[in-house]
Amino acid sequence: MTETTEYQAWRVHEKDGKYVGAEETLSTDDLPDNDVLIRVSHSSLNYKDALSAAGNKGVTRSFPHTPGIDAAGEVVASKSGNPTLGQKVLVTGYDLGMNTPGGFGEYIRVPSGWCVPMPSAWSAHTAMIYGTAGLTAGLCVDKLLRMGLKPEQGKVVVTGASGAVGTVAVELLAKLGYEVVAISGKDKQHGELKKLGASEIRGRNELDHEKKPLVRPEFAGAVDTVGGGALAELLKRIQPGGSVACCGLVAGTEVQTTVLPFILRGVNLLGVDSVEIPAAEKQAIWDKLSGPWRCAKTEASARDIGRSGLDDALKAFLAGDSHGKIVLDHSR
C-alpha cells in the first residue's frame, strides 16, 4: 500500500504544561519514513505508556505524540524482504511509542528490524494480552532458570504481583512448579492472584525497611517489578546463591543497599531489559510464551478496551491501581 490512508489514533497534546490525550484522524503520510507500514489491530497497555501520556520527558521528548509501546497487526507495505506484505507481525519496545508514533494508532511505520513474526499459535489479540509486560515476565523467569533456580530450592517471590508484569510472572512460575509468594498492595486482587497460582499473598509492608543489612533468607529467587526500597529489602531476604530478576521502577529508581547480600550470600542481581534486546532474543521468549509457557489464566482474565477507554486506564497505572492485562482493540 503506497497511497495515503487516513486512520484513527489516540494522540497526546501538550497544552499549557498539561498533557491531554484524545482520538483524532491522522494520515499515513505523517508517519516516519521507515521501511515497514503495519495496520495495527491491537496494542497492549503498559506503565511506560502511562508515563508517555503524562508527559514524562524521559520517555517522550516532544508532543503531539501517539503512545503505545506494543503493536500487533499486518504488514501493508514493506521496502524490505523481511517481513513481507501481508505477514502478521509483532512490534514491542525499541523506540515504538516513545518518540516513534506507537500502537495507540491504527497504523505504524517502523524499521524492519523491529518486527517479529507473529507466533503461529497466536492471534494479534492474544499476542497483545502478553505484550511487553508478558515478554518482560518471560525474560525475568528465563534469567532465573538460567541461573539454575529449581522448584525444590524454595519459595520465589513476585513484587507488584497484581500488575501487568507481575500477573504473568506469578502464573508462569506457578505453572513451572514453583511455590510463589505474591506481594501485592491490593487486597481486592488477592483472590485473582490465588487463581493464577500464588500459594501465599502478602502485603507490601512485607518489605518495610529493616535496619539490619541481612534478615532471615526466605526466598530462593525473586521477580521484582517495583525497584526502590522494596528491591533493597528483597535482597536482604534472598537465600545464599539465589537471584533477583529486576525489571521495574514503580517504587523508585534509587536502591540503597549494602554489599552484604552479594559478598556474604552470593546473591545475584539480574537486570532485565525487554526494549533494546535483539529481535531474535524477543522471538525466543515469544516462542516459549506461545508454547510451553502459555498462561491460560492470564489470557482468560485480560480485559479489552477501545481508544475511548485509554485515558482512565492509563491514569490507573500511575495511581498504582491498575491490575492484570489490558488490551487495546482498535475495532471497538
List the one residue from 12, 129, 133, 289 that touches ligand NDP (CB under 6 A). Answer: 133
Cβ-based neighbours of 184, under 8 Å, separated by 6 or more: 160, 161, 162, 166, 190, 193, 201, 202, 203, 204
Smallest distance, ligand NDP to C-beta of residue 53, A: 13
Of 4 and 205, nearer to ligand NDP (C-beta) is 205
Of 156 and 226, nearer to ligand NDP (C-beta) is 226
Cβ-based neighbours of 171, under 8 Å, separated by 6 or more: 196, 197, 295, 297, 298
Cβ-based neighbours of 281, under 8 Å, separated by 6 or more: none
- CA gap 123, 131 in Å, rounded: 12
With CB atoms as reference, the residue minimizing the distance to ligand NDP is: 163
Smallest distance, ligand NDP to C-beta of residue 96, A: 13
List the one residue from 186, 236, 237, 294 that touches ligand NDP (CB under 6 A). Answer: 186
List the one residue from 272, 289, 310, 328 that touches ligand NDP (CB under 6 A). Answer: 272
Task: Please give the grid coordinates belonging to residue 283.
Answer: 522471538
Residue 274 makes contact with ligand NDP by CB under 6 A: yes
Smallest distance, ligand NDP to C-beta of residue 164, A: 4
Residue 102 makes contact with ligand NDP by CB under 6 A: no
Cβ-based neighbours of 53, under 8 Å, separated by 6 or more: 12, 19, 21, 67, 310, 314
DSSP per residue over 122-147, as a string? Answer: --HHHHHHHHHHHHHHHHHHHHHHHT
Residue 68 makes contact with ligand NDP by CB under 6 A: no
Of 66 and 136, nearer to ligand NDP (C-beta) is 136
- CA gap 174, 198 in Å, rounded: 7
Rule CB under 6 A: which residues touch ligand NDP? Answer: 46-48, 132-133, 136, 160-166, 184-186, 204, 225-226, 230, 247-251, 272-275, 317, 320, 322-323
